[in-house]
Amino acid sequence: MTGKYYSWEIINKNVAIKLTDKSVFDYNQTGIPIEIRSYWNVDGLEGGEEKKIKLCYRGKDYSAHIQMENSYRLRTKLTWTKALTKNIHSYAEYPYMRFEKKDSDLYYVDFIYEANYDSVELDGNEMWYEMQNDSCGSRKEGRVISYYSNKYERDIKNRKAAIKIHGLRCKACGFDFQEKYGELGIGFIEIHHKVPLFSLEEEILVNPYTDLVPVCSNCHRMIHQKKGFTYSIEELKTAINKANKN
């Protein structure tokens, strides 16, 4: 069922993306194409019937329902409480609405903005170089210097796909920038390459589903704190859990 259907894109069995527009925010609802009814588990609905669900956004649940209209077209609509729409209606840009299925009645929601896809990130040796050249003490700053370091080209489309697939929450510690910083943190996350680009001898195809993962800035630094070595997300989770138990 993966693929694009009108303004929808089904990423996998658990993740769906909706490109919003003015009507989504005016009416707190969106149409569901016939092709993706199975994602919402409403194939069995008949005309006039509805299914109640919950949409969880930033840790808060909002009531919603999916209804099969009682008409000859049998159109399907997803409608949610206005309180959810109020969270983002003040922003001029219409975002993608990301749904992640947790069970048949509960979906996590995120709003993803195109403007946040083009942030520049460091990785691997670049990040380690910056960290190791930090030192204590008062020093003069501002002089223009030149130094040589490899830069590894990244494809913005891979970053965009990774955010759509995995969302905006750190996969190591669960940190969410918008929850912490409000409007300032909307759409911000760093994307980590599980296989560091500096370790490759040639260009490779990157699979956003298996090769990329969203992490917060702190976790990203910890992953790359040792030159030539990369901690896995699982190793970082273990370290975090161990520290929290002490």
Nearest 5°: the CA angle 223, 225, 227 is 110
Confidence (pTM): 0.77
Lowest mean pLDDT among 9-13, 199-203, 241-245: 199-203
Burial class (CB in 10 A: 0-12, 13-18, 19+), 157: exposed
pLDDT at residue 223 tops 90: yes
- Structural domains in the chain, CATH included, are 3-112 (2.40.330.10), 115-134+154-245 (3.30.40)
Are the CB atoms for 127 and 224 separated by under 8 Å?
yes
Q: What is the pLDDT of residues 155-201, one digit of tens each?
A: 688 888 899 999 999 999 999 998 899 888 888 899 998 876 554 45
Per-residue model confidence as pLDDT tens digits over 94-123: 889 999 999 989 999 998 887 655 554 555
Strand partners, 52: 65
Q: Which two tokens stand for residue 107?
A: 């979906």
Q: Any idea which residue has 């896809």 for tokens?
A: 117
Q: What is the structure's pLDDT at 196?
A: 66
Where residue 182 falls (left for φ over 0; alpha for ψ -120 to 50; beta otherwise) is: left
Tell me: pLDDT of 51 over 60: yes
Q: Give CA–CA dist 160/157, Å, rounded.
A: 5
Cα angle: 138, vertex 141, 145; to 5 degrees: 135
